[in-house]
Structure formats: structure tokens, C-alpha cells
Amino acid sequence: MLKNSFFIKIVFTLLIIIFMFSSISVLAISSIYIWSDMTDAVSTVAPSDDKNTNNTVVNNTKSNNTQNIDNMNNTNMDSTQPTSNIDNFEQNSSNSENSLSLESGSAILIEQKSGEILYEHNSHDKLLPASVTKVMSILLIMEAIDEGRINFEDKIPCSSEASKMGGSQIWLDVNESLTVDEMLKAICVVSANDCTVAMAEYLGGSQQGFVEQMNTRAKELGMNDTTFKNCHGIDEEGHLTSSHDIALMSRELLNKYPDITKYTTIWMDSLREGTSELVNTNKLIRNYQGATGLKTGSTSMALYNLSASATRNELSLISVIMKAPTTAIRFAEAQKLLDYGFSNYSYKEFGKKNDIIKTLNVNKGLESSVNAILEEDSGMLMKKGKDKDIVQDILLEENISAPVSKGQKLGEITFSVEGNVISTTNIVSDNNIEKINLLNMSLSVFSKWFRLLR
């Protein structure tokens, strides 16, 4: 029986060798005729040129959805970018006339994903931010965690300077250390100045070193109205920002680290084994449907400030109020802005990241096809009650040749209104496809036959 089995394997091996040389011969002969008609690299897609013979509109559909915003100024939004400057969406509307009759000195409402401005009032006025400053401090802490410089369980000591901080605090003692997780909870829920300074000193070497990092990050985000003088927000000459810039850093924090809402949505909690009670300074967390954060701030000079965020039915909004005359007006006007946004706008999702758009044939590859998938979530903001037609165009490369890299751009999907592109998402390869050659073809053939023999 063993001899017969051995004999059968010998026969199969000879058949494999014969098949392999036959395949090589066919491949070589075929290459003579087709190699000159193909390119080795995938050419880039030109979405504006429908006459390009290498590109094809695979799908062209219309839906009775609304325009992205009242005045888009023909802006092309590339969803592949990690952030977008909300300056790109400035509107010449009645918002500058304070059509909502806000009593606060400055305000802005933006859509979180795109950064589009939906309403603004004196949004570039440079004002005292108070503890809303801590949005930037929290962002830098989360980035340090993301980069592996610290982790949530690291113990953070309390310096003498941190223990002497006034204002909102949890009365840190120089002899105690709290974890990063506990520090974040105290900063997000009760706006603890002492915890903010302790974290700043730990990450920046000193509070001043950390403030320099804050200002550098602010410039990267396009926060041109902002100069930070401290990490906590206590009034200091020259420590200024605007509602526009607060919206920018709030958006960056929420988009980049959505898990921060694990802290910013806490209404009540405790530290030190239950001995220190925490109650959120943001009353919207308890009273407003869909509230996700974010940060309050008030001093005698700054008056009452708030960066408020909320999500309903896939639409995420950020409302910023500065220089409200009372705390009640602060919350009421932040809610008024959010209500305005949810009443007048909706977010339409067209596809999720990694959704398969089409399976494409691949020339000269070890694999004959590759899936073309969405690089990012695809969707758009629309104004309710408008009957504008949204046109969806999917442009894909027809003639793809190996090698193909995972994540390589194969095309794009665009959404337009009246010929104006308002949203674009890349379509990319979901896998690596090697170019066929003598070695890898032989290995592939042997591998397939070996699996059959087993």
C-alpha cells in the first residue's frame, strides 16, 4: 500500500513538472503579443475628464438630497484629509447679523466631520477662553497616549506648583500620584486645574514647555486667533482665542479621539476610592439629548464659555459660546445653536470605510482580481427641505496591471450638485497583488498541487 502511494506521488510530481513547463511556454508566447499593449503601473484617475479612455463612469445616480450648505463657494472637500480648515466654508449670510439674537459676545456652530460652518456670530473676536483652554491640554494628553509616550495606567506625581492651583480643583497633594486615567477624568468632568498642571509638567518638563507645545499645535490647526499663556485657562494677559479656534481644536479632539467622550459624558463619578465626588460642570450632559461633551469655562473677566458637542442620527455638531453674561444663558444659547443645526441640517451617509465598490481584473498578477474599496467613510451634510439633486460618480481604472499595493488608489467616488463637486472619497485596493514571474508562478503551481496531494 505504501509503495503504491509513493508511486502515485511520483507520477503526480512528474505531471506537475510537465504542467509547469507548459505554463511557462504559454506565458512566454502570450507575452510577445500582449506585453506591448499594457502598462505596468496603474495610472491615476482624472475625475474631471470623462473622455479619458482609461477611465469609466461605473455608476451615475441621482437622489433628491439637499445641497451641502447654502454657500459652498465650489469648495472640493477631500475626505482623505485628516482635518479640514473650517475657514474654507465661511458664509456671507445673515448669521453675521446675529439672526438667532444671541446675547453672548461670540458664537459658532459647525458640523463635526466636515468642519462646515452652519452659524457664526463674531466668531473671530479674540476673547478670554477660561477653562475651555483645557480642550487643547486634553488633545495633547491624548496624542501623547497615542504616540506611546504615556499610557492610561502611568502614575503622575503632583508638584508643589500643581497643588497650589486655585479655581476648579480636586486638591491634589504633593505626596500623592494619580493615574493618567484618573487625571483625565478629573480634567474632563470637574475641570481640575491642579491635574492639568501636573499633566503639563509631566509631558512638557514644565508648564511653560507644555504651553509651547500648545501654541505649536494651535498653529498646525490653523488657530490664527489664538495665543496660549497657560494650560489651565486662569485669566492672564495675552491669553486669548476665539470661538472659531475653539471649534477647530474641539473638532480635532473629537474626530481624532472619539473615545474621549468616555470621560466628557460622565455626569457623576468619584476618585480616591469614592472619597472624592465628581459632578460634571457641563449641564447639557444630563439635559440635552445626544450630548457628547465637551468643556466649560468661566472667570470674572472671561464670563461664561462653553464648547458643546452632540450627535443625533449620524449628524455631529459642535457649538461654541463665549462671553455669555450668565451661566444659564451660556447653556441656553449653546442649546439654541445645536437645535438650529439639528432642525435645519442632516448628514447622509453613502458608504463605510472598506465597503467594496467593485472587484476589478488585474493583468499579469499572481491573483486575477482585486477588490476596490472605500478608503474612508463617505457621506455629506445637507440642508433639510432642499430639492437639489446629488449626482454620484464612481470613476475606476479599467486597465490594472500588477504589481498592485494594498491601499493603492484605483479611483474615486465624487458627489456633486449642479456640476460642483462637494465631496470626494478615494477608492483603493484592499490587497497586495504581485506581478507574475517564473519563480512566483512556479511556487504558486507547486503550492496548489501540494494542497491537492494532501
> Do the beta carbons of residue 61 and residue 84 sit within 8 Å?
no
Q: Which residue numbers are catalytic?
A: 131, 134, 191
Instruction: Measure the CA–CA gap between 187 and 84, rounded to whole angstroms.
Output: 27
The reported pLDDT for the residue numbered 388 is: 66
- Cα separations (Å) of 348 from 125, 309, 380? 33, 19, 5
Instruction: Measure the CA–CA gap between 157 and 283, rounded to whole angstroms.
Output: 30
The reported pLDDT for the residue numbered 447 is: 64
Average pLDDT by stretches of 10, the chain with 454 residues: 51 54 43 32 30 34 33 32 38 61 97 95 98 98 98 97 93 96 98 98 97 98 98 98 98 98 98 94 97 98 98 96 98 98 91 91 87 90 75 88 92 86 90 80 62 65
> Do the beta carbons of residue 364 and residue 401 sit within 8 Å?
yes
Instruction: Measure the CA–CA gap between 93 and 95, rounded to whole angstroms.
Output: 5
The reported pLDDT for the residue numbered 16 is: 54
86-325, CATH topology level: Beta-lactamase (3.40.710)
The reported pLDDT for the residue numbered 7 is: 53
The reported pLDDT for the residue numbered 449 is: 63
The reported pLDDT for the residue numbered 416 is: 83
The reported pLDDT for the residue numbered 386 is: 67
What contacts 388, CB < 8 A, 6 or more positions away? 65, 66, 67, 417, 418
What is the domain class of 41-74+350-429 according to CATH?
A: mainly beta
The reported pLDDT for the residue numbered 398 is: 80
The reported pLDDT for the residue numbered 380 is: 84
Task: Determine how β-strand 106-111 pairs with β-strand 315-324.
Answer: antiparallel
The reported pLDDT for the residue numbered 43 is: 28
The reported pLDDT for the residue numbered 419 is: 83
Quick one: which of 269, 254, 270, 278 has its CA closest to 142?
A: 254
Bridge partners (DSSP) of residue 426 are: 412
Instruction: Measure the CA–CA gap between 323 and 328, rounded to whole angstroms.
Output: 12
